[in-house]
Amino acid sequence: MIEINNLYANHLKLKFGCFFTGLILVLMTPFQVSADTITYPNGAHVAVHLSYDDALSSQLDHAVPTLDQYNIKGSFYLLPGSATLNNEQQVEAWKKVAQNGHELGNHTVFHPCSSKGPNRGWVKPYASLEQRTPEWMAAEVKMANTFLFLLDGQKSRTLTPPCFETMTGSGDYLSAVRPLVAGVYGHTLPKPEEVFWSAHNVSGQQLINYIKRSAANPQTKIIGIKFHGVGGDYLSTSNKAHKKLVRYLAKHHDQYWVTTYKNIVDYIKQQ
Ligand SMILES: [Zn+2]
């Protein structure tokens, strides 16, 4: 879509000159034009994706079995550099997750986040976003892609930028990594067409209410809920709350198209 917009812009540039082209490019953002007309499989008017960051053991123990029980596919943003991916058992378990149709998403290798501000003592000096450049981030995303390809054999996947932060010491890295992935979490449609909630320590009913409230806005086409720990680890949501949400979504598959973030991004691109 970006390429199509660029082609269109070049065409206009020839016809009307630079000023008008600039104006058009400011007004048009990718997908904005077509978002109103999106219809999903099963006639659902909104797509929902559940995602899980940091390759945590509690996701394998609790989230994956619940998703599999209700035949819902999630996106798992793994971290090749994390301690939980350094044993054979975990590696085999994640391979199986991919075989079951879930997405193994890119979350970089070392999880670079800003080391500035309060509560950022956990950011290691080697993973400080301020020390990075956009080129370095692109190399890291590429390396994570290669690692994940060895796990799942897939050549395309989406990315969740760690901490949702993309400002390195020498500029924003988003445009440097966009060509390396199918999509970037939360960046497919403008708000409120796409919304998401990074949830933890909430009840199943709160999760369901978020979905209902978001879906009530006719402009909203993509709803995401992001988890970390499920029934354990950190930024945790209880197994019970997670299960309640998944059960609700499975029951209402005529209203919501629940699938991986990659499937949603690919589908919108096709539209
Ligand atoms: Zn993370």
Q: What confidence tens digit (pLDDT) does each residue in 23-38 have?
A: 343 344 444 445 667 8
Residues 236, 176, single domain; the answer is yes
Indicate which CATH number applies to the domain containing 228. Answer: 3.20.20.370
**Total number of domains constituting the chain:** 2
Chain segment 242-265, per-residue pLDDT in tens: 999 999 999 999 999 999 999 999
**Are 5 and 55 part of one and the same domain?**
no
3-state helix, strand, coil in the chain (%, to 5): 50, 15, 35
For residue 165, what pLDDT is reported? 97
Same domain for 64 and 19: no
> Is the domain of 101 the same as that of 22?
no
Residue ranges making up the domain that contains 59: 37-270
Q: What is the pLDDT of residues 118-163, one digit of tens each?
A: 899 999 999 999 999 999 999 999 999 999 999 999 999 999 999 9
pLDDT of 12 strictly over 50 = no
On whether the CB atoms of residues 162 and 137 are closer than 8 A, the answer is no
Indicate if 111 and 177 belong to the same structural domain.
yes
Per-chain mean pLDDT for the chain: 88
Q: Average of pLDDT values for 8-12?
A: 38
Ligand 1 geometric centre to CA of 227 (Å): 10
Answer yes or no: do 11 and 96 share one domain: no
Specify whether 60 is located in the same domain as 156: yes
CA of 107 to the centre of ligand 1 (A): 7
Least-confidence region, from 8-17, 174-183, 240-249: 8-17
Q: Is the pLDDT of residue 195 over 80?
A: yes
Ligand 1 centroid to 178 CA: how many Å? 18
Show Cβ contacts of residue 157 under 8 Å, excluding neighbours closer than 6 positions. Answer: 103, 104, 105, 106, 145, 148, 181, 182, 262
